[in-house]
Amino acid sequence: MWTADADGAARHRLAPAKVNLALHVTGRRPDGYHLLDMLVAFADIGDRVTWRPGGSACRLSVDDRLLRPEPVPVDTSNLAWRALALAGRLGAAPLAGDLTVEKSLPSGAGIGGGSSDAAAVLRLLLTETATDEAFLQAQAVRLGADLPVCLAGRPTRVQGIGERLTPVALAHALAVVLVWPGEGLSTPAVFRARAAEDRDAIPATAIDALAQDPLGAIADLRNDLEEAARALLPAVGHAADALRESAGCRLVRMSGSGSTVVGYFADGNAAAEAADRISAGAPHWWVRAGVLQA
């Protein structure tokens, strides 16, 4: 849902972190794309996207809240810019204005920062148009495999290469701590490092159980990229250990291809206390307590 300034001059939307509750690699297509079966939810933590219409052209600026070795690009390599161009092609009228992305999510983190930014742009600019949802999803997947689920923005089972979406029901929101151990990982590099073994899909019993006991449902599931990510970046394992040693932590799982690790906690107070403790012990890590929305 987007919000507007009191004078209506600007619209704002959260671009939430995308968190994998599970990620199974089930096969590979002849063109090299891996086939996945994933459970995804979205946090109340994210970037902030703002659109201010006006002028005669479109402009993108990035307000980066994190210290990165390289600045976030503002050219066509930025997914938010590419989403702006797509919205311009799909909209009923030419677009002109200023797009600002306030970056609070780390890069190379496995939590879909760029894809979520792009999805927020499309929602901001196309919500009031007559763009067909199925058509929008089909166009968006060309920008990236995570775009369709980020457009959905709710708990979802994702299959194929990211184009097959099935909404799922979580019994309740989940208190979490996200830990990014100060370094990112390249998704292609993680897939290359992974042992070439295709595994089973997520069982239907686990999908059904999400509506009663979400953590119990995913406890026997996995992230098939975690072992490769740990081998490439041992800090992933260190972050996971820090979460497991925290009071109230019930489950730890890496998100996406890493390097963010997610701890699931008994309640929000336990999550906040764990985040404070981990931050104090590793000040160069990005640590956030939050909630995965049901």
The enclosing domain of 264 has a CATH number of: 3.30.70.890
- Residues annotated as catalytic are 18, 146
DSSP string covering the chain: --EE-TTSS-EEEEEEEEEEEEEEEEEE-TTSPEEEEEEEEEEEEEEEEEEEE-SSSEEEEEEE-S--SSPPP-STTSHHHHHHHHHHHHSSS---EEEEEEE-SPSSSSS-HHHHHHHHHHHHHHTTS---HHHHHHHHTTT-TTHHHHHH-SSEEEEETTTEEEE---SS-EEEEEEE-S----HHHHHHHS-S---PPPPHHHHHHTTT-HHHHHTT--BTTHHHHHHH-THHHHHHHHHHTSTTEEEEEE-TTSS-EEEEESSHHHHHHHHHHHHHH-TTSEEEEEEE--
Predicted local confidence at residue 71, as pLDDT? 81
Domain boundary among 140, 167, 194: 167
Domain stop point among 167, 193, 218: 167
Q: Are residues 158 and 131 in the same domain?
A: yes
Kindly report the CATH number assigned to the domain that includes residue 91: 3.30.230.10
Q: Are residues 122 and 54 in the same domain?
A: yes
- The Cα 216–Cα 15 span in angstroms is 28
Write down which residue in 133, 167, 201 finishes a domain: 167
Query: Rounded to the nearest 5 degrees, what angle is found at the Cα of 38, between the Cα atoms of 153 and 288?
Result: 60
**Same domain membership, residue 283 and residue 237:** yes
Q: Are residues 197 and 230 in the same domain?
A: yes
Provide the domain limits for residue 119.
3-167
Each residue's pLDDT expressed in tens, for the chain with a length of 294 residues: 556 565 667 889 999 999 999 999 999 888 888 999 999 999 999 999 999 998 888 899 999 988 677 788 888 889 999 999 999 888 767 788 999 999 999 988 999 999 999 999 999 998 778 788 889 988 988 899 999 999 999 999 999 999 999 999 999 999 999 999 999 999 999 999 998 777 899 999 999 999 999 999 999 999 999 999 999 999 999 999 999 999 999 999 999 999 999 999 999 999 999 999 999 999 999 999 999 999
pLDDT for the residue numbered 90: 87
Same domain, 222 and 104: no
Q: How many domains, the chain?
A: 2
Domain identity same for 103 and 223: no
Indicate if 20 and 126 belong to the same structural domain.
yes
pLDDT for the residue 2: 57
193 lies in the same domain as 147: no
pLDDT computed for residue 250 by the predictor: 97
What is the predicted pLDDT for the residue at 9?
79
| Same-domain pairing of 121 and 22 | yes
In the prediction, which pLDDT does 68 show?
A: 76
Same structural domain, 155 and 281:
no
139 & 260 share domain: no
Same domain, 114 and 205: no
Q: Does the pTM of the predicted model rise above 0.75?
A: yes
